[in-house]
Structure 1
Amino acid sequence: MRTKHLILILIGVIIATIVFIAFGPAGEPNDSFKHIVVQTHQQLKEFQENLRVGLERKKLDLEPKYFKLLGFASPLNTKENDDAASHQPVQQHQETDTPVTARRAAQELQQLHRRDGTRQMAAIESNLLQELDLQEQQLQQQQQQKSQRKRITTPYNGTKANFTIVTYVQQERQVASAILLAQNIAAKLPSEYLLIYDLGVSEEQLRTLTAYCNSSRCTVITYDLSEFPSSVNDQRTHAYRPIVIKDALMRAKSVLFAENYMRIRGGYRELHELQNRVMVSGVLGWNTPTAVSSRTHPKMFDYFESNAENFIFLRMVDLDTVFFADTLFVTEKIMLPWLKCALTLECIDPIGAQSNGCKFNKKPLYRYSGCHGYDASAFNIVLGLTWHLDDSKYSLPCTAKENMFYKETLEQATKILENRRRNTSDTSDHPFTED
């Protein structure tokens, strides 16, 4: 839009110049022309300044408290963190004491009105006291549940495993898929660790998941996302995925992030080949024929000081299964900018973005399809900029023989798990083969 305005201004300047030269006084053409040139230069400078300010406003940043939560060595002054930490217990205390304070006030008011003989008011206030008592009990139950679930809020600083497979469950209906993934890994890669991040399932579903994940090599981590912006919980954006991956990289030297609906058809030989590759590049995923520009809202590129035209020939890497190595390069060049975008609502979810309504039949095929990839789009922009738009450095084609994974739909997973519970499972439940 700004370019269009600039072109219209230049056209107007040219027309005005011709008019002044043709019809102006004989001794004044040069002065008029100089005045027009000066005005044009001023307008160009204002345009450049506005453009620079616009880019600065879209510059990505990360608040100090998030640096700490995500385990980064924050280069910023930690005084803000100390102040925030000192105020946090006070806020929690105030929130906890609110029902108690209200109850005491109601009691005093009730006694006052009883002295005045207003029995009707006393009855109303008695009901109010009962409601406040009920709210206080519910609050205590919620606090007990939180303490029982032991939600993780601090960065992990214990001993690291060499390699870990990582997945998550955010909704109750995903538990069946996660259970089958745990069983699949136990059968195919019995020596490997599995971390399942609980991002908000119910207590009942958590117990069910923990019952199946009951070996020394399978762990359920109840991770607290409430410390982050509320937009992180949005399932459309999947902004929680880079947070889960970053936490997992503090627990292992390398990780395989896999969606809970993914399954492994290979074994250790295929796994070791892929592990060797990821130790060279730091990140390894599988690309699709879809261009990054067709699955990314144009406004997201502004936050990375780039544009969609640079990504029209770059293949999109999906986040179904991706290997990550815990190196300084990956932390600073991949995870940090990716998380900055994920925690900035205007970057991860630009105005006008949507997750459905894709139209991949547009010509040319690299045009924006109207369907945004959210965290996957940000991930691919970071990868493209880091490796100078060469996807062969960090990905393999999804049809490559090295791809040892396949998908299992939620309906299939639910059916298989139910059949196993009834001891009626057979090989026909799986539509995929090991060939």
Structure 2
Amino acid sequence: MRTKHLILILIGVIFATIVFIAVGPAGEPNDSFKNIVVQTHQQLKEFQENLRVGLERKKLEIDAKYLVLLGFTASKDGSPQQQQKELQQNHQQLPQTDLPAPATKAELELSDLRRQHAQEAGANAQQTDDQEREKEMGQHRRITTPYNGTKSNFTIVTYVQEGQAPSAILLAQNIAVKLPGEHLLIYDLGVSEEQLKALNAYCNISRCAVITYDLSEFPSFVADQRTHAYRPIVIKDALLRARSVLFVENYMRMRGGYHELQELQSRGMVAGVLGWNTATAVSSLTHPKMFDFFESDAEDFIFLRMVDLDVVFFVDNLFVTEKIMLPWLKCCLTQECIDPIGAQSNGCKFNKKPLYRYSGCHGYDASAFNIVLGLTWRWDYSKYSLPSDDAKNMFYKETLEQATRILESRRRNSSETSDHPFTED
């Protein structure tokens, strides 16, 4: 807003100067006025240059070590021919008429990171030894290096933080009832030893696993629960472990079963990403300064429906890695992008007219996610999302208070079927 006012003032000064020269006394020297005009033009050019430099500084550039930790490396072959072959194979999975152009810059970055990844092999070996010693001492091993083992075909993924164990436990039970043949990964992002033991007690089957993930390797702001900058980190690590993942918040529950899941997977495999959109515009829940980092304008997103991150399906392919995950993570690992000055998560004013105006509430990682999706699919949200109020939506929310009450009731052996909807048809 201040920028627009300054431009208008400069234009007004230029216009007034020209008029004054035109109507001034004939024959009087006007060299001083000419100098004013020249200086004003020079100041305007300097101002425009400062604006250009300011925008250039808002490029998403992060430390390469974070990309290595997140598994952004080239193929094991490493040759350009193999990388190009993989890129073409993954592009064939999507409709060619809808597929955006390949991210050339991302490809170059990933190629450079391959060499750095090889250099860290020795350090990783030492780290593995340290982790084994910790395991022998009875300490829970914390994950700090990218997974490179055998991938599963499909995995359901969630995370848990301190105080959220009841929700995660009931989600594990919900999945065991509705989808007993599917794997569930629960990322521990800092729960107490007591809650971790309780969680492991309920997640003690071969198809359920708790992964204690170490966020301390990333910038400190990543662990902020307000920004949720850790969500894309969890999703990216899970995509190293499975060919496709269904990310769900631990407070979500399933009312459907395999039939609904198969429909979701079939639709999600086409786009690579599939979520549920809301009636709220992306521009309404995104701080204007975030758009600068993506070299975009808020006005382009006034009709783009916001996709929430309660439940999202992801496919592990180069298209998703380069076009979705890489720019999303770059923003979430850049504090000025994920958390612009003045951003807040409460005090929303949705009664502003028009409704797509910024509400005063910022969506942080969800806002960055939606900007990336909008730019990738040219603002056509039907390509990567379904309406959240659709009858086929197989998920619903259960608050932490409800989960705690239900869990305590079960522990007292006094629970009833009506206490928990997921056991009902």
Deviation of the 1:342 alpha carbon:
0.7
**What's the RMSD between the two structures over aligned residues?**
2.6
Which of the two has greater helix per residue? 1
Deviations 1:387-422 (A, max 9, x none): 111110100000112210111111111111112112
Deviation of the 1:203 alpha carbon:
1.3
1: CA distance between counterparts of 2:396 and 2:281? 22
Deviations 1:45-88 (A, max 9, x none): 32321111111111111211101100002444788889999999
> 1:385: which partner in 2?
375
> 2:230: which partner in 1?
240
> Structure 1 residues 380 and 145, CA, compared in 2 at 3 Å: closer, same or farther?
farther
Alignment of 1:274-285 (within 5 A): 274-285=264-275
Question: 8 Å contact 1:17–1:36 — kept in the other structure?
Answer: no
> Structure 1 residues 87 and 19, CA, compared in 2 at 3 Å: closer, same or farther?
farther
Does residue 316 of the first structure (1) align with residue 306 of the second (2)? Answer: yes
Letter in 1 for 2:58: K
* Largest Rg, 1 or 2: 1
Identity %: 72
2: CA distance between counterparts of 1:309 and 1:214? 50
Deviations 1:74-120 (A, max 9, x none): 44478888999999999xxxxxxxxxxxxxxxxxxxxxxxxxxxxxx
Alignment of 1:3-18 (within 5 A): 3-18=4-19
The two structures have a TM-score, normalised by structure 1, of 0.82
Does residue 401 of the first structure (1) align with residue 391 of the second (2)? Answer: yes
Does residue 51 of the first structure (1) align with residue 41 of the second (2)? Answer: no
Letter in 2 for 1:304: F
Question: 8 Å contact 2:151–2:243 — kept in the other structure?
Answer: yes
Does residue 188 of the first structure (1) align with residue 178 of the second (2)? Answer: yes
Deviations 1:131-164 (A, max 9, x none): xxxxxxxxxxxx7899711100110011111100
Deviation of the 1:23 alpha carbon:
2.0
Alignment of 1:108-187 (within 5 A): 148-171=139-162, 173-187=163-177
2: CA distance between counterparts of 1:44 and 1:146? 66
Deviation of the 1:298 alpha carbon:
1.1
> 1:338: which partner in 2?
328
> 1:256: which partner in 2?
246
> 2:69: which partner in 1?
69
> 2:319: which partner in 1?
329
> Structure 1 residues 406 and 206, CA, compared in 2 at 3 Å: closer, same or farther?
same
2: CA distance between counterparts of 1:427 and 1:396? 30
Deviation of the 1:308 alpha carbon:
1.5
Deviations 1:176-196 (A, max 9, x none): 111111111111101100000
Deviation of the 1:26 alpha carbon:
2.5
Deviations 1:328-378 (A, max 9, x none): 111001101110111111111111111111111111111111111111111
2: CA distance between counterparts of 1:287 and 1:77? 34
1: CA distance between counterparts of 2:243 and 2:123? 35
Deviation of the 1:8 alpha carbon:
1.1
Give 2:293's match in structure 1, choosing from 289, 303, 320: 303
Question: 8 Å contact 2:148–2:240 — kept in the other structure?
Answer: yes
Does residue 411 of the first structure (1) align with residue 412 of the second (2)? Answer: no
Segments of structure 2 that go 5 or more residues without pairing to the other structure are 74-109, 127-133
The two structures have a TM-score, normalised by structure 2, of 0.84
Segments of structure 1 that go 5 or more residues without pairing to the other structure are 91-142
> Structure 1 residues 216 and 84, CA, compared in 2 at 3 Å: closer, same or farther?
closer
Deviations 1:312-337 (A, max 9, x none): 11111110000000011110011011
Question: 8 Å contact 1:412–1:429 — kept in the other structure?
Answer: no
> 2:263: which partner in 1?
273
Q: Match of 2:215, SS?
A: coil
Count of aligned residue pairs for this structure pair:
381
Q: Match of 1:8, SS?
A: helix
Give 2:276's match in structure 1, choosing from 286, 290, 293: 286
Tell me: higher relative CO, structure 1 or 2? Use CA pairs within 8 A at least 6 residues apart: 2
2: CA distance between counterparts of 1:183 and 1:88? 35
Question: 8 Å contact 2:278–2:308 — kept in the other structure?
Answer: yes
Q: Match of 1:221, SS?
A: strand
> Structure 1 residues 212 and 60, CA, compared in 2 at 3 Å: closer, same or farther?
same
